[in-house]
Amino acid sequence: MTFLWPQFLWLMLALPLLVLVYLWLLRRKKKLALRYASLSIVKEALGKSQGVRRHIPPALFLLSLAAMLLAASRPMATITLPSNKETIILAMDVSGSMRATDVQPNRLVASQAAAKAFLADLPRHVRVGIVAFAGTAQVVQAPTLSREDLVAAIDKFQMQRATAIGSAIVVSLAELFPDDGIDLSALTYGSGRPRGLSLDQSARTEKKAPPAPVAPGSYNSGAIILLTDGQRTTGVDTLEAAKMAADRGVRIYTVGIGTVDGETIGFEGWSMRVRLDEETLKAVATRTQAEYFYAGTAENLKSVYQKLSSRLSVEKRETEVSGLLALGAAVLALLSAGLSLLWFNRIL
């Protein structure tokens, strides 16, 4: 626990002084009571329990004072709260290797089914966008609250050749930060004028300075879930794209689907060896302060998405808890006064 105003903690030193004052008052009261010959009769009438009771209200009041002083110091604690993530980008691999059947019925169909189940479990206030990638990456559904539109976009996936994992991350970041001027073509084709841009457009893109880097994982309004079954074969370097996400504080949760050792698949006269690049996916997750999940089977993939849904529904973050301490202090003070009135017909 940390404190925004730790200087107020010095006031806690007054609590032992209050205890000493209380003990001094008890001793003074005892000396005054010795003047009365009937003191022993009064003690017998009150009994031992009454003697213990008289210390409870002052003790509760002292605790309430301690809670008030802690609240004044504005304590910060890491607690689990409902997530305030507003946008999740699903970046899903649709390369030809997704036709492999090591995950039944095949990798693409299994990933589609798991993604739909993930959408069903996600809180309704969270917007979701979908980026599909193979040789290039494109937004197939802009961030929306409509689960029906998202499911329809997932059902329209069509497999293509090559795997541009880094490009998928860049396109996902462009959806999360539409005002940052993130341009995939400029990153892909170098510092010259990107393809498809006019001279004026290119000049405006170059003038857009990148934002100042922030702490990795510190962006709480969005996240990226990257699902792939292979290695990058084209597009932006994967770790370079991960650094862009880390500099913006965006977490990238990576999900690897398929076999780690790889297998050879063929289609329409061509064949290829597909292998899951776990090392790179783990590096992406680590760099962005997120997690990597391995999904070797269809059931395993569904459980991965369930875990992701629960992680994105709640999160641990540092929050000021002075309000809770102030509430506790008020309850203790009221309890102290109430017991004192009930037992002794006076407040302390």
- What is the arithmetic mean of pLDDT over 21-37? 71
Quick one: tokens of 331?
């309850």
Per the model's pLDDT, the better-predicted residue between 85 and 27 turns out to be 27
- What is the arithmetic mean of pLDDT over 102-109? 86
313: buried, middle or exposed (CB in 10 Å: 19+, 13-18, 0-12)? middle
Round the average pLDDT of the chain to a whole number and report it: 81
**The pLDDT of residue 111 is above 50:** yes
User: Among 108-122, 221-235, 310-324, which is the least confidently predicted range?
Assistant: 310-324
- What is the arithmetic mean of pLDDT over 336-347? 82
Q: Report pLDDT digits (tens) over 293-333.
A: 988 777 778 788 777 776 665 566 678 888 888 999 899 88
Q: Report pLDDT digits (tens) over 281-296.
A: 999 999 999 999 988 7
Helices (H), ranges, the chain: 14-33, 39-53, 56-72, 107-121, 147-155, 165-176, 184-189, 199-207, 238-247, 278-287, 298-313, 322-344
**The pLDDT of residue 205 is above 80:** no
Say whether domain 85-296 belongs to CATH 3.40.50.410: yes
Determine the pLDDT at residue 284: 96
Determine the pLDDT at residue 299: 78
- Cα separation, 224 vs 289, in Å, equals 12
- Cα separation, 293 vs 301, in Å, equals 9
Question: In the chain, which residues fall in CATH 3.40.50.410?
Answer: 85-296
Per the model's pLDDT, the better-predicted residue between 134 and 183 turns out to be 134
Per the model's pLDDT, the better-predicted residue between 101 and 267 turns out to be 101
